[in-house]
Homo-oligomer: A and B are copies of this chain.
Amino acid sequence: MAASAVGRATTAGRMLDLLRTRGTLSRVELAERTGLTPATITNTMRRLIDAGLVHEIGRGHQRGRGQPRRLLELDPTAWYAVGVQIDRTTTTIVVLDFAGVRVADASLRGSGGQSPDATIASLGEHVADLLRCNDIAHERVLGAGLVTHGPQDRDRGVLLTVQPDPAWLEFPLTATLERRLGIPVLLENDATAAAFGEQWAGAVPTDTFGLVYMGSGIGGGVIVDGESYRGRASNAVEIGHIALGQAPCFCGNSGCAQAEAGPRAVVEQALADPDLAARLGIRGDPDETLADFERLARAWRTGDRDAAALLERSARWIGRAAVTLVNLFDLDTVVLAGPAFATAGPLYRLHVESELRRRALTRALSSPDVRLAANVETAAAIGGALHVLRTMPVDVRREPQRIESA
């Protein structure tokens, strides 16, 4: 990496991250929060201002008899980042500006039934369209975060699973998307990205928490002291495969939370009652699991008892998986995120909290708190884009120039 490139761990990267989180800060506040010397702050800030990444926006309150402090703020238009979350039923795209604010989003058909090559091709077109329609120049896009279920090899940008089908195993996802988009692409786990996204959204009152992610499958993420738990090779917190019952799971284990209580399992339980399935229009197409699950959730919300019984059973199982998550990672806060919680979220929140309050080992020491994500459907895509903003180096030599697209 060139000496002038700044990533998160560098002085400039830390200053950018603080400004992104806090909005505006003075040089004095930056020095206090980083522990860096005023001289270092001044010099680094001069480079960031010259590069157009930061600008001054007038003056803050006067303190004592000193000079009024000039406040600094990121230039939101300096760079943009894309976040793309692929699921079998739905794909979500978001664009964040340099300050981390969402400036565009789109939701489209999932990868179901398509080859990875066709999925990436279509994704590339949609991202290009979204940028063009929002007047965001391709040259101003720092990169894209591609967010999927695990297990992944993040360094090589490939999935290490035959889910959703064998063509996806080891397919060069990030390399193909990089070629299509002409920008760097980072691979990230959906649940971990959602945890980053919710932390950023200010929706979690602690910097140590767990997250249950439910799309077509179930995943988990853990943030400890503001950093994600990665384990050996970033394939951690696979709470969809906590064994709870007897149902066989594709993974080779039995009784996995996903096989007992995931959206696919709930839809199959609904199909076992032909009257219910017909009444709610449940079709059972594996590529439309989330759409069928949403039909059940809407039926529950309008008072359908059969739908409620199926969802409540699932929610109690997820609650028991959350007990193991909390007992193993020593947590008291759990966030629920992902498209499966779009409508059914409140029901799941209630049951997961109830199970934790009955069963978590340290429940008497710190009362378990379960929250529905602020961005329940888009947290993972937002987290993917944030990951780009926070970790990809910005070349501060380069003069920022807003090149308008055609």
Enumerate chain A interface residues (CB-CB to B < 8 A).
Answer: 151, 160, 208, 220, 224, 229-239, 241-244, 251-254, 320, 323-325, 327-332, 358-363, 365-366
Contact = CB atoms under 8 A, between A and B. Distances in A.
Contact of A151 (B236, B331, B365): B365
Please give the count of copies of this chain that the complex contains: 2
A103 B236 CA distance: 39
- Most chain B beta carbons < 10 A, residue from A235, A238, A363: A238
A231 B331 contact: yes
A359 B327 CA distance: 21
A224 B231 contact: yes
Contact of A243 (B241, B324, B362, B363): B324
A254 B361 CA distance: 11
A84 to B, nearest CB: 24
Given A238-B361, A251-B359, A359-B251, A331 B232 contact: yes
A188 B160 CA distance: 37
Contacts of A229: 224, 229, 329
Given A151-B365, A359-B252, A365-B160, A330 B235 contact: yes
Contact of A251 (B208, B253, B328, B361): B361
A238 B323 CA distance: 11
A244 B241 contact: no
Nearest to A252: B359
A210 to B, nearest CB: 10
Contacts of A328: 220, 236-239, 242, 324-325, 328-329
Contacts of A236: 328-330
A6 to B, nearest CB: 22
A353 to B, nearest CB: 15
Contacts of A233: 330, 362, 365-366
Given A231-B331, A235-B362, A235-B365, 6 more contacts: A224-B230, A224-B232, A233-B330, A233-B362, A239-B328, A253-B361
B324 A160 contact: no
Nearest to A332: B232
Contacts of A253: 323, 358-361
A233 to B, nearest CB: 6
- Most chain B beta carbons < 10 A, residue from A229, A231, A254, A365: A231
A318 to B, nearest CB: 13
Nearest to A253: B359
